[in-house]
Structure 1
Amino acid sequence: MPPRGGAQRRQGDAVMAMLVGAAVKRRMADGAGRHDVCRKSLSSGYFERSSQPLTALLFLLPLLAIYEVGTWYLATDHARKIEQRVIAFNLLRDFLGLFGATGRYLPPLAVVGVLLAWHVARRDPWVVHWGTVAVMVIESLLLGLPVLALGICLRRFLLPLVAGAHPGSEVVLSIGAGIYEELMFRLLGFTVLNIVLIDLLAMRKVLGYIAIVSISSVLFSLYHYLGAESFNWETFVFRTMAGAYFGVVFLIRGFGITAGSHAAYDLIRFGLVLRGGP
């Protein structure tokens, strides 16, 4: 019969082995948990944050300010009290006027209000990562390039400027177009079409989204002929395709990136027009 002390030691070793094994298992579990948290943080990182309404608002606030200040100084004839505005801006102002809401700065306030209401409805945290906002500028520039490439292929990217237009006013209008046209045809347009086609008519989501993108793209293209420009099939097809592209970007990346990429395309196109083409 072995000594009692050896038995106690073996029992102690067994207990220690159990404790060590449990500790190893806990460490492995903790490591797996941290790995899962890391993966979740990556999946909910930049691409999720940049599509949130609050982030989109802070990304677009400088553009809204530039558009308003630029319109006042560069796109307004103060002697005749005439200001040059994006058509979508005027349509939004007129629509709000139907309900008795008037004011020079009502459309930009509407943009802010819509995004804040959307943020509250989503119950997102009131936290902003400024690095995300900075990267959104780069992404917007990159996402504006495919539309430019499409225009080059169709030979319609150098659309003529307005006769006698000031370069500064063209820059201002390009920024305004990115914000207010995307607000009208993507953010608001997609919402209304989604309610009608998917919620009321019970279309399958895939077919519904295809219909939403198609309808909004055609309306977006036709909208450009509300001004002095005459209808042209080539520009109509190009703008319809551009509208479809921005529609897909909106579905995948949200309002802020879509508005930014639209403004980026207009600014790059204007720069090429100004220097006589690529």
Structure 2
Amino acid sequence: MLKNLVNQHTFLRSKDNYESSRAVIVGAPLDQTTSFRPGTRMAPKKIRELSYGLEDYSPYLNDSLNDKSFYDAGDIEMPLGNLQKSLELIERIANEIVQDEKIPVFIGGEHLITFPIVRRMALKYPELKIIHFDAHADLRDTLFGEKLSHGTVLRRVCEYIKDRHLYQFGIRSGLKEEFDFAKDHTRTFLYDVKEPFMKVFDELKGFPIYITLDIDVFDPAFAPGTGTPEPGGCTSKEIFEIIQRFKELKIVGFDLVEVSPLTDISERTGILAAKILREVLMCIS
């Protein structure tokens, strides 16, 4: 299945060999349920392009990509207008990577890509815990009458993991019903990111961890290029400080979603996304 992916550009310092790589990057340019401003389908290509402006050394981690093992497999070709088929393709690719004992690193695309990936990950890891960085709870049961949406994705994820195995940080937007659901079923922390993350860090150790990062967790001053910007978010420095602790966790998968290049002519959102991926790859590969 991976042979059918389209690879026009590769992420910074990607290796050429899938078999020998620990982590595998896949672009999932899904852009079918975005509810405000579209454009996420263009993110994987843009993030790869902007990655070439980064050094391969990270002063945050005192580490380099030079000796890290990761492979950029390219983008999934999404059948526009066919949401179910698109989700099936994402899940099939995630399953192949997991079955090969590698770590999937997905570049969205809208946030709904997380659902089929986690559904597959949960089969392999029954004790899976999810770390979710986002401005929005994404815990609605439906959005515009649909169960599958970027605004319902974490509610669907909760149907495949244990109760309170979802940890949400930076949440500052949602319906009352979402926050009511969160009180009973998740570990949700409002507004802040770094402080609550550090408070529960020991609860995450030893568990298989899947991380999903919606770029709108950042204040729009740092990441304006997203479909649903939400003022009051965290700084980029906070996230980089958190990523330094990822080396202490058993991370089995990661995705970065909701970058929309069309809404950021400065390209600073894509540059931030590329730098996040660089740091994460150093921690997991």
After TM superposition, the score normalised by the length of structure 1 is 0.28
Normalized per residue, the structure richer in helix is: 1
Normalized per residue, the structure richer in strand is: 2
Which gives a bigger RCO, structure 1 or 2 (Cα 8 Å, sep 6+)? 1
Larger Rg: 1
After TM superposition, the score normalised by the length of structure 2 is 0.27
